[in-house]
Amino acid sequence: MTKTNETRIDRRFAALKAEGRAALVTFVTAGDPDLETSKAILAGLPGAGADVIELGMPFSDPMADGPAIQASSLRALKAGHKMRDTLAMVREFRKTDNDTPIVLMGYYNPIYVYPNAAFLDEAAEAGVDGLIVVDTPPEVDGELCLPAIERGINFIRLVTPTTDDKRLKTVLKNTSGFLYYVSITGITGAASANPDHVEAEVARLKRATTLPVAVGFGVRTPEQARAMAKGADGVVVGSALVRTIEDTLTQDGVATGNTVGSVLSLVGRLSAALREA
């Protein structure tokens, strides 16, 4: 693995390990349903209990996102959200929070057209700590992964139930920050995995790496989060949060007075479940 200097992600997982609990990793899409509401949600996540924040980079043609997250991206894009707005959100967040890790998650196309070097420079300057770019395989690490690491940004990769031990070695080579275990075969927000099977898979991964392992895809409720945390270092919840946003909108897709509070309330219940696990 290519070494990076200690990052906010490293420090956060080390602190939570000392506490003896798993991280709550929350995903929301930048700019959903509009910039101001999205900024209010982002600002409120740490206080509600989010330990690590994944901020989705809206994209019109995803490959791993289920209907809920696809809809959130489309709402953001319809509202005029651009990549520079996502980076500006991080920059503004850092004015009041210099501790909570932020990971940008999405697809390569919007980064490629930014283009790469400018995106990475601005992401590092804004305070981005990690990237998850699901359609950049390890075979092309020289294009985005290694330049990100050179700028002190962790490059986090996903592994799935179909990732065998041989492929795992390749995936781990330049992965840093944490390893994201996709608990099901399929898209985000689909069926939930068997917690016993996930625990066994996490144990297999931990025999191959010292990186923290976070489990995601299909985790919707505090009870599921608690169950998935067994043996894992973190639990990722995304579709449930963006679906909560959707449920509070008017028929025209406009945020209401309940939008921010409903999302943060769910984050609080998820966080409480992990603290009780």
**What CATH architecture is 10-276?**
Alpha-Beta Barrel (3.20)
Q: What is the pLDDT of residue 189?
A: 57
Domain ranges of the chain: 10-276
Mean pLDDT computed over every residue of the chain:
93
> Is the predicted pLDDT of residue 94 greater than 90, yes or no?
yes
**169-199 per-position pLDDT tens digit:** 999 999 999 999 998 766 665 556 678 888 9
Rounded mean pLDDT, 247-251: 97
pTM: 0.95
Percent of the chain with pLDDT over 70: 95
- Neighbouring residues of 138: CB distance < 8 A, sequence distance ≥ 6: 145, 157, 170, 171, 173, 174
Active site residues: 54, 65
Q: What is the pLDDT of residue 61?
A: 85
Name the nearest CA neighbour of 245 among 236, 234, 256: 256
Q: Is 35 helix (H, G, I), strand (E, B) or coil?
A: helix
**23-66 per-position pLDDT tens digit:** 999 999 999 999 999 999 999 999 999 999 999 999 988 776 77
Q: What is the pLDDT of residue 194?
A: 78
